[in-house]
Amino acid sequence: MAMERYIPTDTLVEILLRLPPSSLRRARLVCRRWCDVVNKHTTEMQSRPRPLIWSGHVAYVVGDLSPESTGSLEELWRTSRLRPDDWYPQLVGTCNGLLCLCDNEKQSGGSLTVVNPATGETLPVPPLPCGDPGRSLGWHAAYNFAYHPTTGKYKVVHVPCSYNRCYDFETLQLLTLGETTWRDVSPPAAGARCRLSAGIVSIDGVTHWVKVGGDTRIVSFDLDAECFASTAMSLPRLSAKHGAYNLTEVHGRLGFVSLPDVWVLEQGRQSWSHRYKLQEGIPCPHFVYGDCVLIRRDKLGFYGHWPKSSPSLLWGGVIHIGHKDHGTLVATMPTGGYYLTFAYVHTIEPLNAYMPPIN
């Protein structure tokens, strides 16, 4: 890397612009100069995540995420573009503008497909190796779609779990996009079966979930080393009093939601800080987008709050957003119903780079 300092910036820009987005993300890690060049001269790296709202078979993105928003939505993807018949897959998650969908009806273990809505490309994922339980189950809830920022690899994780005692998975199963073989990883002796209702979150190359059992803790799995953390993290103390909770991501860190409280894991430590106290509904699994806190106020409306510039109360580092903080209407849904929210950035990353090799 000693020679890179002598490359003129214009030449370096031309070289980097020829790289695919996944390689650009890794190029940002080379040195501060490369990071600055990628951030300033490539549009995909400059784009900020916007809320993607999944309505069951249609994906929308918020048109304008700002305090001056007009509440507009843009249709991003409709499942009929992939199959014209009655098909209502679930959205497992998003990574760098790619969507991972799961059809619970098609086969045991679910049928997974990765989609790039911007290009229309699709990529079928090899099926999970499992027996046939003889019934349709909520397979999507046990999957997570993740990206490792250092290796640039996308991975699909299927956590150890039990589907209503109809079907048990004792090991973690892992597939790297572009490969054909799932790998089994045995959990620690203490067990790592996932509480599916609390969700699965991947942050900075590590996948987290809440394990079931007597000592409820958070299990962490390193996607690069493909191993479990030696110790499981405890949950915030306050959350032990509440029955419903879920994991989330807040500014690149692990978050824990137990309304009205949101806790965030301290960087480099296994301790939690109380970050938000919210008197409104939080859309799951993602509700923080940059400086914006997304709130679900009624059946049809999503409201954005910008605590740094709003009159929201700050007490001891905890951001309070109450019923009187009306916020800005950023999205009005065309119909009522159940919605999920994810982070989305536009990308033209080609999926054919991840096609499994033909034997």
With 90 as the cut, is the pLDDT of residue 341 above it? Answer: yes
Average pLDDT over residues 62-87: 80
With 70 as the cut, is the pLDDT of residue 264 above it? Answer: yes
Predicted confidence band of residue 311 (pLDDT cuts 50, 70, 90): very low
Choice among 29-38, 86-95, 117-126, 274-283 with the minimum mean pLDDT: 29-38
Residue 163's region, left for phi above 0, alpha for psi from -120 to 50, else beta, is: beta
Average pLDDT, the chain: 82
Q: What pLDDT sits at residue 136?
A: 64
List the one residue out of 120, 123, 127, 44 whose CA is nearest residue 346: 44
Highest mean pLDDT among 1-10, 67-76, 127-136, 238-247: 67-76
What's the 3-state SS for the chain? CHHHHHCCHHHHHHHHCCCCHHHHHHHCCCCHHHHHHHHHHCHHHHCCCEEEEECCCEEEEECCCCCCCCCCEEEEEEHHHCCCCCCCCEEEEEECCEEEEEECCCCCCCEEEEEECCCCEEEECCCCCCCCCCCCCCHHHHEEEEECCCCCCEEEEECCEECCCCCEECCEEEEEECECCCEEECCCCCCCCECHHHCEEEECCEEEEEECCCCCEEEEEECCCCEECCCCEECCHHHHHCCCCEEEEECCEEEEEECCEEEEECCCCCCEEEEEEECCECCCECCEECCEEEEECCCCEEEEECCCCCCCEEECCEEEECCCCCCEEEEECCCCCCCEEEEECCCCCCHHHHCCCCC
Average pLDDT over residues 171-188: 93
With 50 as the cut, is the pLDDT of residue 228 above it? Answer: yes
Report whether 154 contacts 116 (CB < 8 A): no
Report whether 128 contacts 184 (CB < 8 A): no
Report whether 128 contacts 173 (CB < 8 A): yes
pTM summary value: 0.86
Highest mean pLDDT among 6-15, 173-182, 331-340: 173-182
Predicted confidence band of residue 29 (pLDDT cuts 50, 70, 90): low
Instruction: Give the model confidence (pLDDT) of 89-126 as tens digits.
Output: 899 999 989 999 998 887 888 889 999 999 999 999 99
Up-side HSE of residue 258: CA atoms within 13 Å toward CB? 15
Q: What pLDDT sits at residue 4?
A: 54
Q: Give the count of beta carbons closer than 10 Å to the beta carbon of residue 207.
A: 21
With 60 as the cut, is the pLDDT of residue 314 above it? Answer: no
Report whether 56 contacts 327 (CB < 8 A): no
List the one residue out of 339, 239, 238 whose CA is nearest residue 281: 339
With 90 as the cut, is the pLDDT of residue 168 above it? Answer: no
With 70 as the cut, is the pLDDT of residue 25 above it? Answer: no
Tokens coding 258: 């137990």
**Superfamily of the domain at 47-354:** TolB, C-terminal domain (2.120.10.30)
Q: What pLDDT sits at residue 323?
A: 67
Predicted confidence band of residue 253 (pLDDT cuts 50, 70, 90): very high
Average pLDDT over residues 346-354: 85
Predicted confidence band of residue 1 (pLDDT cuts 50, 70, 90): very low
Parallel, antiparallel, or unpaired: how do β-strands 272-278 and 318-321 relate? parallel
Instruction: Give the model confidence (pLDDT) of 128-167 as tens digits.
Output: 988 665 566 789 999 999 999 888 899 999 999 987 667 7
Average pLDDT over residues 193-221: 91
Q: What pLDDT sits at residue 37?
A: 72
